[in-house]
Amino acid sequence: MPELRKNTERDRYEAVQDGQVLGYAVYRDVGGAVELPHTVVEPAYGGQGVASAIVRFALDDIQASGQRVIPACEFVAGYIQRHPQYASLVA
């Protein structure tokens, strides 16, 4: 399983394995909420749960910080629909 981290220098949550970024979710602070506008996974790692792991990590981090989320990315919005425990985070 890749390492999940928040890369504050690049404003994104990342999945990294052996120094290689497998995927990421971009974030932006928008008026007290965190917008997640875009999620990317390298094609070789598609369908392996990388995007879901990144989004779960991002939502847990946002929740821990006491902020709300704007799920502008279609994948993030779908993830929240499939995991209603995160619905209360939606701004």
Number of domains in the chain: 1
pLDDT of residue 3: 97
Q: Is residue 1 predicted with pLDDT exceeding 80?
A: no
With a CB cutoff of 8 Å and minimum separation 6, the contacts of 38 are 25, 26, 72, 73
pLDDT band at 34 (very low <50, low <70, confident <90, very high): very high
pLDDT of residue 5: 98
Measure Cα distances from 22 to 27, 70, 83, 85, 87 in Å: 17, 23, 23, 26, 27
What is the mean pLDDT of the segment spanning 46-61? Answer: 97
Rounded to 5 degrees, what angle do the CA atoms 28, 60, 8 make? 40
pLDDT of residue 32: 86
Q: Is residue 76 predicted with pLDDT exceeding 80?
A: yes
Q: Could you tell me the CATH number of the domain that includes residue 32?
A: 3.40.630.30
What is the mean pLDDT of the segment spanning 49-53? Answer: 97
- Domain residues for the domain of 36 are 3-89
